[in-house]
Every structure is written in C-alpha cells, then in structure tokens.
C-alpha cells in the first residue's frame, strides 16, 4: 500500500517536472525575436544557439543512463533541477549573447537529466498500461508547452521582460526541489550478466538505425515547430508576436489533447499502425496549412494532434523490441535523435538567413514524412514482436 502510494507520489512529481521542462524548452521560439533584437544577432546565430542547446541535451542524454545506474534516478532528478535553477538565474542576468548561450546550454543539460531519469524510471513504477501512462506523462509536457507559449506571449505583450520570466521559473524550480527531496523514488534492479552491446553492434543493426532515423526526423519536426514557427509567422507572414505565439500555443494545445487521448488508441489498435497513420495525417495538414497561409495557418496548429503520440510511443517500443541492454539502446536512439535535431535546426537557421523563411519552414513537414518512411521499415520488421500493447 505504502509502496503504491510512493509510486503515485513520484509519478505526480514527474508530471510536474514535465510541465516545467516544457516551460523552459518549448518557449525559446517565443523569445527568439526578442533575443535577435536585444543582442543584435541573426537567424544563423540563433541556429548556433539551438545547436548548443541540442548538443548539451545530446551529451547529457548519452551520459544520463549511466548516471542513473550509478547514483539512482532520484539523485539524477536533483542534479538536473539544480542545473536548471543555475541556468535560469544565469539567463535572467545575461547581458551578452555569450552568456545567453552558456545559460541555454546549461538549461538543456538539466532538462536532459530530468528526461532520461523519467523515461528510465517509468517502467519500474508502472507495470500495466505503460503506453497510456507514457503518453499521459508527455501529455503534461504538451500541457506545459501550451500554457507556457500562451502565458509568455501574453506577458511579453504586457511589457514583462524575458529575464524576469526566467527568474520566476527558477524560483518555482527551487520550491519543487525542496519538496522533491522528501519523495521516495524506487531504485531499479540492475540485471547482471547481460551481454555487452558494442557501439559497432549498434551502428550495424539496421533496425536500431531505423529507430534513430524515425525518432530523429520526428524530434526535429516537433522541436523545429517550437523553435521556428513564430519566427516564420512574424518575418514571412507579418503576424504580431502575440498572434504568432497564439498559433504556436494552439499547435502544442492540440498536441496535448492528442497525448491525453492517443495512448488509449494505441493501447487498443497497436503501436506502429496508429503511429504511421497519425503522423501521415499530421504532415499532410501541416503542408496544407502552409500552402493556404493566412487563416489556413490554423490547420498547421491542428496538425499537432496527429504529431502527439509519436515520441512517447516510439521510445516505449524500444524497450519492447530490444530486451537486452534496453537502457543503453534507448540512450543511443534518443542521443542520435537529438543530434539530428541539432543539425536540422542549424540548417533551418541558415536557410532562413540565406534564402527565406518561406522555404525554410518546409523542412519541418519533410522531416515528418521521412519519419513515417522510417517507421514503415520498423513496422515491417517488428510485427512478430509488437503484436499488441
């Protein structure tokens, strides 16, 4: 009884941390126009900032699994929260673009530790209905994105400085840290005697590579929307910052609804059958909205519902397909996906600068389509394993 209560308490804190993580991670797009103006930088420099944040996230994701195994998930959560507090205070005091880059990189490191701790502890806390709980956890991330996008856009329009916003989030994390110290997190049982999977084994395994591509293309499609959609609407379509932020918040709002409901659909109909159909619809809607433009941009926002289940469900299936060295493979797949997102963020920034935002934005749905193609290969080779959630 007490163990079950402790597990639910841990889950509640994970949900809260996911909301706050979305506040930090998916609000960069809101602040990009302000950063460009205050620090006199262009889209290429902003692309470099996104590379640094993705790079820090990638490295700490790779190392995070080992840290969880050595120190336990609770300590990794605490380290991640402390890094975020330091980074947010740094950002609130940033007077140069270099300090801004440092603060952004540090915040991504903290976010990565919290993410890997959440994804590795969830299978231990939750035994049944893992698909539903995994999507529910990411539902709270989407909820945080929606709330953060709309709230921060509103605060900026009312003259509240971005530095003050970062400071308020740091204070919130400080309160969470104090409370989290008293939460009991179960420690995973470490299996001994598993065959060591070498890096060579990984890069020569076509199925693992397909997972890297499927997740990598998707991660950029979602991150790219958060990072570049507002910039596109302002520069290419003449939207105000507040209106552009509203459309972005609607995208993450529909994504949030999709994650709330999508887990039940996947649980009933199967993993990749739903994934392929859903993301395909999302890509079509995304392109259609961009082509129509104007009020048609609302269609892009609605596409978020069909993007929703992709990340949490793909990550969950890794543990179903690869029963040996699961944490190691999951870490590598997520690391590779973040590396791909880093590269495509830079490419998008470069095309924004050298060509125009109208062309750059189409990289997002193209990557979504490539994710679908990769999932078709995975589905073909895992049908006998992933019979039903």
Contact 108, 95 (CB under 8 A): no
At 149-205, the pLDDT tens digits run 778 878 878 888 889 989 999 999 999 999 998 888 776 665 554 556 666 777 789
Query: Domains in the chain, please, with CATH?
Result: 2-382 (1.20.1250.20)
- Six-digit token string for 7: 């597990």
Handedness of CA 244, 224, 380, 61 (dihedral sign): negative
Backbone torsions φ then ψ of 21, nearest 5 degrees: -60, -40
Which tokens go with 140?
């709270």
| Residues sharing a CB contact under 8 Å with residue 12, sequence separation 6 or more, in sequence order | none
- Please tell me the distance from the alpha carbon of residue 371 to that of residue 388, in angstroms, as a whole number: 21
- At 293 the three-state DSSP class reads coil
Round to the nearest angstrom and report the end-to-end CA distance of the chain.
27
Between CA 121 and CA 11 the distance in angstroms is 10
User: pLDDT tens for residues 1-57?
Assistant: 345 555 778 888 889 999 999 888 867 777 888 888 889 888 888 888 878 887 888
Enumerate the H helices of the chain as residue ranges. 2-25, 28-39, 43-71, 73-93, 97-125, 130-157, 162-180, 199-203, 206-237, 241-269, 271-292, 297-307, 310-321, 326-354, 357-360, 363-382
pLDDT in tens, 285-307: 999 999 998 889 999 999 999 99
Structure tokens at 152: 């921060």
Which is more confidently placed, 243 or 367? Answer: 367
If we measure between CA atoms, which residue out of 82, 255, 243, 94 comes closest to residue 163? 94
Which of 30 and 371 is assigned the larger pLDDT?
371
pTM of the predicted model, to two decimals? 0.79
C-alpha span between 24 and 22 (Å, rounded): 5
């Amino acid at each position: 009884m007490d163990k079950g209560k402790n597990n639910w308490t841990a889950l509640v804190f994970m949900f809260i941390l996911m909301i706050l993580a979305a506040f930090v991670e998916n609000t960069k797009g809101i602040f990009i126009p302000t950063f460009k103006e205050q620090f006199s930088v262009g889209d290429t420099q902003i692309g470099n900032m996104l590379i640094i944040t993705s790079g820090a996230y990638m490295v700490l994701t790779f190392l995070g699994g080992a840290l969880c195994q050595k120190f336990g998930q609770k300590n990794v959560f605490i380290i991640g929260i402390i890094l975020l507090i330091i980074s947010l205070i740094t950002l609130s005091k940033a007077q140069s673009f270099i300090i801004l880059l440092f603060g952004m990189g540090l915040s991504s490191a903290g976010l990565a530790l919290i993410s890997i701790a959440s994804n590795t502890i969830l299978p231990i806390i939750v035994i049944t209905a893992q698909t539903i709980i995994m999507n529910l956890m990411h539902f709270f991330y989407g909820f945080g994105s929606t709330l953060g996008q709309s709230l921060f856009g509103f605060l900026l329009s009312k003259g509240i400085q971005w530095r003050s916003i970062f400071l308020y989030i740091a204070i919130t994390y400080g309160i969470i840290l104090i409370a989290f110290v008293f939460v009991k997190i179960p420690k995973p049982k470490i299996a001994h005697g598993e065959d060591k999977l070498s890096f060579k084994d990984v890069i020569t395994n076509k199925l693992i590579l397909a997972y890297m591509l499927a997740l990598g293309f998707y991660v950029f499609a979602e991150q790219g929307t958060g990072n570049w959609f507002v910039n596109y609407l302002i520069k290419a379509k003449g939207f105000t910052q507040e209106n552009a932020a509203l459309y972005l918040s609607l995208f993450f709002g529909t994504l949030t609804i999709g994650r709330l409901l999508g887990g039940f659909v996947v649980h009933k109909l199967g993993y990749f059958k739903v994934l392929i159909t859903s993301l395909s619809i999302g890509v079509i809607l995304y392109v259609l909205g961009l082509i129509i433009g104007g009020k048609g941009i609302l269609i892009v926002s609605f596409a978020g519902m069909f993007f929703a289940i992709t990340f949490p469900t793909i990550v969950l299936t890794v543990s179903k397909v690869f029963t040996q060295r699961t944490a190691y493979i999951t870490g590598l797949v997520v690391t590779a996906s973040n590396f791909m997102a880093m590269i495509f963020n830079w490419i998008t920034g470069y095309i924004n600068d050298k060509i125009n935002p109208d062309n750059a934005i189409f990289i997002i749905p193209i990557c979504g389509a490539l994710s679908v193609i990769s999932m078709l290969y995975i589905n073909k080779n895992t049908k006998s394993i992933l019979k039903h959630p």
